[in-house]
Structures are given as C-alpha cells and as structure tokens.
Homo-oligomer: A and B are copies of this chain.
Amino acid sequence: MDNDVKFMRLALEQAREALRRDEVPIGCVLTYDGRVVGRGYNLTEKFQDVTAHAEMQAITAACRTFGGKYLQGCTLYVTVEPCVMCAGAIGWAQVSRVVYGAADERRGFSRLAPHALHPRCQVSSGVLEEECATLMKEFFNRKRG
C-alpha cells in the first residue's frame, strides 16, 4: 500500500505536467518489480488525437522499455479510472494490476466494459482519490470559468 501511494504520487506528477500544458490532467506510470518502466500524461490537445491518453502513452513507453508487447507483472497507476479505450489496451498488454485514484462514473471502463481487462488483472481504486479528483475539478472549473 505504501508503494501504491508512492507511485500514485508519480502519476500525479505526470497529471500536473498535463495541467501545465492545459490538457485534461490525467497522469500514469507503469511499474515492474518496484521500478518505473513507463510514464505518460494526456496529450490529446497537443496532438489533436483522442488516442493520446496518459495510459496509452505509458503502455507504449513500457513496451519500448521491455522490447515486447506484453506487460505481465506490471502495475499501472493512473490518476483517473481508465476509459474503455485504455482498458482495452491494458487488457491486450496483459497488465497484471491496475490502481486508479478517482472514479469516472461517466466514461470509466468498470461501467462500460467491465470485462476489458485481462481476467487475472487485479484492480484497486481510491488511492489518493481526493488529490486526483481535485486536479480534474480545478481544470474543468477553470475551463468553464
């Protein structure tokens, strides 16, 4: 659990990097054996491409780290619950564990695609939930304001 908080803090750092670039502030790190093997933050505005979610970039980065497309044994930390697209990618990559901070009632995979992850993938939620959610609220309030 201490590790979960530690790595979620790193995911939050990624999310803050997105915020600095005026992107929806979601960040992600992938770990293997206690080390970070991939990281990413949302860049959909910069690239004008919906596929540039934090998780997608972290997965691509981790695949490069390993030189392989399967990420068994890896844990993915992300500040907000993955969407259907990202959950699908996490499933294909056979990530072993997913830890997310804030839930996404509207677009989260747990409601829209509950079987997208690998059947053996473990899921934890609510780690640093408030910090993760606050970042999102600040961003959307600023946009609306």
A residues whose Cβ falls under 8 Å from a Cβ of B: 44-45, 47-51, 56, 59-60, 63-64, 67-69, 83-89, 91-93, 112-113, 115-116
Q: How many copies does the complex hold?
A: 2
Q: CB distance B50 to A93 under 8 Å?
A: yes
Partner pick for A51 among B44, B48, B60, B83, CB 8 A cutoff? B60
A contacts with B: majority SS: helix
Partner pick for A56 among B45, B51, B63, CB 8 A cutoff? B51
5 CB-based A-B contacts, threshold 8 Å: A47-B63, A50-B93, A84-B88, A87-B88, A113-B116
Given contacts A69-B49, A93-B50, contact A86 B88 (CB under 8 A): yes
